[in-house]
Structure 1
Amino acid sequence: MNSLPGNVDGQLAQVGVAHGPITFNYQAPPSPEPRDRRRPNQVPRPPRGFVDRRTVLAELDGLFGGEDADGCPIGVFSGLPGVGKTAAASKWAHDNHQRFPGGQIFVDFAELRSGAGGDVSEALATCLRALGVRDPYLPEGFAERTALYRDLSAERRVLVVLDDVTRPAQVTALLPQGPGSAVLATSTWQLGELVLDGAALLPLDVLDTESAVELLSALCTRQRIAAEPAAAARLVELCGGLPIAVRICAARLLTQKRLTIGTLVDELSDEQSRLSRIAVFSVHEERTVSATLELAYRDLPAAAARMYRTLGHLPGLSFDTAVAAAAGLDSVAAAEEALRVLEAASLLSVLDDGRYALHGLVRLHAQATSTAQDPPGTARKTIGRVLGHYLALTFLADLAVRADRLRITKTEDAVRTSGSGEDAFVDPFAGSAQPGRDALCWLEAERANILAVLRAASRLDFDRPVWQLAEAFTVLFFHHRHLADWRESLELGVTAAERDRNAAAEARLRSLLSRPLLDLKQDEQAKAHLDTAERRAVESGHLVLQASVQEFLGRYWDRHDPDRAVDAYRTSLALNVEAGEERGEALARYFLGCAQSVTGDHAAALSVLAEARTAFLALGDKRMAARSLADVGRTRARLGDSAGAVADLSQAADDLHGCKASHYEAQALEDLANLLDEPDEVRACLRRALAVYEEGGSPRVAEVLARLTAG
């Protein structure tokens, strides 16, 4: 029986029969915690041509400045995929390696996620290996690894760089214990919870044009950029200042020697193919912006991913929660939650006014993702819902500014209430102390977005809501004369009304279109639209509309034949009286008085203008009452009553300013300047007028500026 009772220490061999000597080769067991004192230096070098980021790197200098900090300081770079977070972290680490005599440890969570065990425990193993622990001696359990990491890191002053983290726990579990040690993390996600651990959140934005061109120059040589400076600026603009996009374009320019910057710009100018063309391929790898964004998209929960795809189809550059909810057929609460997740994932940004925005390349990726994953027709349905949302709000804004204006659109066609509770459609201007002011502020803030919606919806042949939106939208331009936008919106409306075969709508929009055309000195185009409008108004049988078109015709004849202008305004007045349209009657009297003054019938003009002013005040239309007063002043000036004219024009300018009728205020100021004798007062009036014209893009800028320059 082969047994040995009791305990045996040392060498032991149990054999049956042994022939010859027995030799024992014995080695002592290795230490369970070998401590390699080499200095880890694992952070990758920053990429070639690193530019900008001076402010955020200086902030890190202060954050990681000394050994006296309470605990381990944490800095977190966050931002859009490809914005340069890893580059900024690598740059700071390499510029400050002397601050960390214990070395620099680098953990790439994206790489860990791509393999098995991509979790915090595996990240701890990476850190322990960097601190000298060999694989045979790595503890198996998470708690044991944590304890050993704390023990070993307490002996060193190290910088731990954690790249592409997705959860706060991936940072907090890897905080080193050594005095003066620090953690620098990068993440597409904002990781705001780390603030509770004293972290400094350092969001990175895209590069400005100058810095992006500098990056392109560093990669492609300054000589090449100097040869095509305008094209280089346009190229980085098409890249949206996104560093990875600029780098990929630079790689294409370097690998395709015959490719010029201008040719690449031409390629990228096609928005539909832009994302696919910002790519570089080799036998070893493929680098694309789309692939970078795809990684961020895959991490989104289902609701946020659906919202992301929806947002790709939104026209315009910015949007609020209500637009997002309408586009996705979501409740406001659901939309808010999805937007919060997308903001945390750095896939959208929040603007100073509280609206959201997608980077241009992100929007293209969202579009492409929707095209690949959503049913056909999704883009059209999304734009249709957004169009309906803006039509309702713009129509309500128009009503808030002037309820008794002529409109072809019916309220029930523009505003369809549905839903209940928090999702029921409500008038956002109804409870305001100054609904007209708030409505104009909203329209001004949304101007670019409404115009973008009109363009997109027009391309998809949403004819009726397009002309209805264009009709309501014009209220903004009566107060803020953005002439190019006004003209474009009405031209889209005219085309839509014509396709919709709605004679009344076509007449209304063509007559409105004559206003910006006349201001832009395109009189013949204005007259052509007015002639068609006159015919369509008669076809419609709409008496008030016919009166309105005659008023607009009078505005044209004001410039070309004052006597015919008087006749047009008298026709308009008669039609409005017949229709019982009080505001139309007041407008016709106002323009008739102006035309009479021009023809020299000043006494009649003063009487008619005074009647118009009284009617406008009775209707509560302070803006038109102020305009009437300004023309009373002009008429007094023609009669030689300078003092009366100065008083009327001064009061009218102030009243128009209070009504935010800036264009008419500027006209009153110019006329007032012609009557004043004091040079300083003249210059003050002209400077105020110039500011208004510059803001609105008026052709009057050059003439007023010339007067000011001439002294």
Structure 2
Amino acid sequence: MNSLGGDGGGSTYNTVSGDAVVVGPLLMAQRIEGIRLPPAAPDAPPRQGPPPSRVFVNRIKERAGLLDAAVALAADPEPGVVLVIGVGGVGKTQLVAQCVGRELKELFPGGQLYVDLEDLRRDGVVDLAAVLGGFLRALGVNNDYVPGGLAERTALFRSVAARSRLLVVVDNVQHAPEARALVPPQGLLVVTGRRALPSLLMDGAVLIDVAPLDEAAGTELVRRWHAGADEETAAHVVRLCAGHPLALRAAVEWLAARPHLTLDDVVRDLTAGRYGTGDGGDGVRGAAGAAMGVGEGSREDRVSEGTGEGGVGEAVDTVLDSVVAEVSGHTRHVYDLFGVLPGTTVTAHLLRAVGAARVDEALGELVSSRLAVLVESSDRPGRYRLHDVVRAHARLRARALPQERRRDVLRLALDFYADAAAHADALVLGNRFRIQPPPVRPLSELAAQGALFTGRAEALEWLDAERVNLQAVIRAAAEEGWHGQVWRLCESLWALYHSRKHLADCIATGRQGIEAAQHEARPDAEVRMRNQVARAAYELGDLDGADAELAAATELLGLVGDPRLSGVVWETRGLIALARDLPGEARELFGRALAANRAVPDPHGVVVQSYNVGQALVAGARWADALGVLDEAADTARATGDDPMLPRIDLVRARALAGLGEMARAVAAAGAAADGAAALGQLAKLDQALALLASLAEQAEDEPLRAACEERLRALRRTMGLKPPDGTG
């Protein structure tokens, strides 16, 4: 049984060149009806966001205000916005989590989406297209149906999210446009930040201000955590921690791990830390400061670095210094590595790669001490992150480490990521043309326990999960002058950018790759980088920007030896010519690319460029010429096992045959494309094949085939998460 439901007869139209037999319209309709679609994702609303803590005190006013606003806005057909502000670590996210987990989820049956913008902020700017891509996938949209541009993703998000009331929670918003872009079409957006955003308030957003805990609430919280604490001592701890929940939690967690101590010991250590000299005095804080070279004299630097605001920041620093000073040596080493490593999350694999020992124990102690949290995901390996306040503290500690030590750690991290990304690229895109040599270390050496990834799907997920960290590593490598690794990483990341359409990222990192190639005097690498940037700009519709990159690349072609580099430039220029409706120019450019690949020879490149030539000929209404080129491309693809190209070739062949008026053969070619795309899981190509078949059937006045194609197309799009807003269809 093949993917079209036949019992062996489907082979009669798998090839439609020459004297192939064409099936009748009724049989074709039956086979289209029998196309097996991939299983749909579970039709369950997303439930994202941090879970609510079991211990939560006070916040009665703030919680009531958030709940009242949510109830009022949920009844409004227009979407609403609530802005929750407060200093870092004061409990904004947990306040929202309490309301979502206990009261709000019933008001928003469409589910809850969550993102922390701090994880996606680069040079102060958030990649909103990446945020919306994640939201679309969480709402059940298949990756093949997530567009590349911000405008297209915004439009699709508004369409998909219009099915029912949705709650969107966004942490660490700094600017009003970041929030506006993520407002659901109906439902509620709750954003947290450290300051009020006047333009949002002018738009009607409800403001919830979260202050540090007062002494009574803080004392209640401490006594819930530590039942034996007397009220006066607990109140003293609250005053020392400035009512900051993060500091209080860290202090009591530190005490819980040392049952031989009392809350009075915590007070004594925090008092020594706050009022001691920081140069080896009696307090734990003082000892830690002396060991790291960070004393009271650096307090101003610590606050300005972002660990807190005013006295609250000092209280958090004091507690964190005390907690870190008392953890095990190997745990303290891992904590300091958090401060050195670029990016926002780390994995056990990365920590081992940079020389950490007893990694699992250290991570466990950091989690139990409330210094780190495990970021869990059903489809990605466990990774760990620090709260942004704790991360700032760790990075300030790291500044006290010797510069060479920090460079050594960065270099080990860079080498790990460069080798892992190269292996992932090879699994995702196979034997594509690459400038860099294969990595020296096998994939098995990059993971002491378990594999980083096994197979294409896992490799792509690893790249996507590490995307922010990879960008940070590239920036760090560029700052250190490790230019060779910069452009190599950028080349490997094409596998991610091309597959997941992170096009803005492709342009940003590609420009760093261009600079790195120039520093290394590698014109071949510069051509490669400029072409990648041009392809991303082309897919975003910026044809002039793509042209500018290609013009600079063309000037370098005389300095490179491999003709395939010329080929990739001609190919991208040909695509731009097609987009500008210049089929003759496109045909000439694709012809140059074809000649370059034949000169190597590169069989896959020959097939791709022959397919492109066929596209240009069809666009120029040269139907018969296109068929000859496409037949040759199909023969080469079958001979070399390049099966993924066959559905693409059949789609163009179907258009050429339709142009010649050979509708039966055109239908058979489009059917072969649908058959092949379904078998290979090429869902976007299956969509195109079914849409083309429906159009051809309408032209041929074949109502059963048209109806079968349209029904299968609706079913495919439902399966891919593109349900109509009213749930019908």
Q: TM-score, normalised by structure 2?
A: 0.56
- Seen in structure 2, the aligned counterparts of structure 1 residues 665 and 275 have a Cα distance that, compared at 3 Å, is farther
Whole-Å separation in 2 of the counterparts to 1:687 and 1:645: 23
Alpha-carbon contact 2:654-2:670 (below 8 Å) kept: yes
> Counterpart of 1:356?
384
Q: Percent identity?
A: 26
The Cα of 1:337 is off from its aligned counterpart by 2.4
Matched, 1:341 2:361: no
- Which residue of structure 2 aligns with residue 602 of structure 1? 623
Correspondence list, 1:453-602, <5 A: 453-560=473-580, 561-602=582-623
Question: Which residues of 2 match residues 304-343 of structure 1 at below 5 A?
Answer: 304-326=331-353, 328-331=354-357, 334-343=358-367
Conserved? CA contact 1:398–1:473, under 8 Å: yes
Q: How many angstroms apart in 1 are the aligned matches of 2:407 and 2:496? A: 27
Larger Rg computed on CA atoms? 1
**Residue 501 of structure 1: how far off its partner (Å):** 1.3
Which residues in structure 2 correspond to 1:111-126 (within 5 Å)? none
| Equivalence map 1:143-222=2 (5 Å) | 164=252, 166=254
Q: CA deviation at 1:313?
A: 2.7
Question: Is the partner of 1:622 in helix, strand or coil?
Answer: coil
Aligned equivalents of 1:654 and 1:675: distance in 2? 16
| Cα distance change, pair 377–601 in 1 and its aligned pair in 2 (3 A) | same
- Aligned Cα root-mean-square deviation (Å): 4.9
**For the residues of structure 2 that align with 1:508 and 1:538, how far apart are their CA atoms?**
14
Q: List runs of 5+ in structure 1 lacking aligned partners.
A: 1-43, 60-81, 116-160, 175-183, 188-267, 695-703
* 2:394 alignment counterpart: 366
Q: Name the SS of the counterpart of 1:312 in structure 2.
A: helix
Q: Which amino acid aligns with 1:529?
A: E
Partner of 2:376, secondary structure, is: coil
Q: Which residue is 2:470 aligned to?
A: 450
Residues 613, 628 of structure 1: 8 Å contact kept = yes
Gaps of 5+ in 2: 1-55, 64-94, 104-210, 241-248, 267-299, 699-705
Question: Distance in 2 between the 1:93 and 1:58 partners?
Answer: 23
Query: What SS does structure 2 have at the residue aligned with 1:409?
Result: coil
Report the counterpart of residue 630 of structure 1 in structure 2. Answer: 651
Q: Could you tell me which amino acid in structure 1 is paired with residue 309 of structure 2?
A: I
- Structure 2 counterpart of 1:352, one-letter code: E
Structure 1 pair 442/422, CA: closer, same or farther in 2 (3 Å)? closer
Q: How many residues align?
A: 477
Give the counterpart letter for 2:355 in structure 1.
L
Measured in 1, the distance between the counterparts of 2:100 and 2:569 equals: 60
- Distance in structure 2 (CA, Å) of the matches to 1:461 and 1:171: 49
Paired with 2:393 and 2:222, the residues of 1 have a C-alpha distance of: 32
**Residue 322 of structure 2 aligns with which residue?**
295
Closer/same/farther in 2, CA of residues 419 and 614 from structure 1, 3 Å limit:
closer
Q: How far apart in 2 are the matches of 1:455 and 1:381?
A: 16
The SS at the match of 2:403 is coil
Which of 384, 387, 412 in structure 1 is aligned with 2:414? 387
Q: Identify which of 396, 402, 415 aligns with 2:440.
A: 415
The one-letter code matched in structure 1 to 2:252 is D
Q: After TM superposition, give the deviation of residue 685 of structure 1 in Å.
A: 3.9
Q: Which has the higher contact order (CA 8 A, sep 6+)?
A: 2
Q: How far 1:570 moved relative to its partner?
A: 1.9
Equivalent position to 2:304, from 264, 267, 273: 273
1:278·1:288 contact (CA, 8 Å) conserved in 2? Answer: no
- 1:577-632 alpha-carbon deviations (Å, 9 max, x no partner): 22222222222211111111111111221232233233234433333233222222
Shift of 1:499: 2.2
Matched, 1:397 2:421: no
Q: AA paired with 1:584?
A: G
Displacement of 1:275:
1.9
Asked if the contact 1:401/1:439 (under 8 Å) is kept, the reply is: yes
Correspondence list, 1:424-439, <5 A: 428=452, 432=454, 435-439=455-459
- Contact in 2 for aligned 1:663/1:692 (Cα 8 Å): no
TM-score (norm 1): 0.57
Structure 1 SS opposite 2:311: strand
Deviations 1:322-345 (A, max 9, x none): 11222x3235xx222222221221
Tell whether the 8 Å contact from 1:319 to 1:356 is kept in structure 2 after alignment: yes
Q: Residues 691 and 713 of structure 2 are in contact (CA less than 8 Å); yes or no, is this contact kept in structure 1? A: yes
